[in-house]
Amino acid sequence: MSEREYLAPTVALLKRDAVESSALRSYGYEPATQTLDVEFTPPADADPEQGGAVWRYVGVPPEEVEALAVGESVGRAWGLMRKRLADLGITGMQVAGPLPKKRKAVGA
């Protein structure tokens, strides 16, 4: 079992479908609210049963999500999509999963 702490879901998570990717584990989309939940592949030191970090993006146009479904590489499609979302001013927020490791302060 990993010593990593986990963030319990702070909101109701969307139903997600598993994908074959080294970057993403699953994603789910709610068209009515244009909400996208993305579960990333767990870090190597995490308990695989716990899953990866889940991030939520709100205001995601449906055509952006379609690129994940039809792309040859889900990871590559996600990388391009993330850049387009940033250009639209859409940022994500972690809502569940392992918390990042604490980093030592520079010079500490």
Q: Could you give the count of Cα atoms lying within 13 Å of 57 in the half-sphere of its Cβ?
A: 24
pTM of the predicted model as reported, rounded to 2 decimal places: 0.81
Query: Domain boundaries in the chain?
Result: 6-98
Pair 46, 100: CB distance under 8 Å: no
Task: Please state, as a whole number, how many other Cβ atoms lie within 10 Å of the Cβ of residue 14.
Answer: 19
36-47, pLDDT tens digit by residue? 999 998 877 766
Backbone angles phi and psi of 78, in degrees to 5: -65, -40
Confidence band of 1 (pLDDT split at 50, 70, 90): very low
Highest mean pLDDT among 13-17, 39-43, 48-52: 13-17
d(CA 67, CA 29): 12
Number of H helices, E strands in the chain: 2, 6
The residue ranking higher by pLDDT, 75 or 47, is: 75
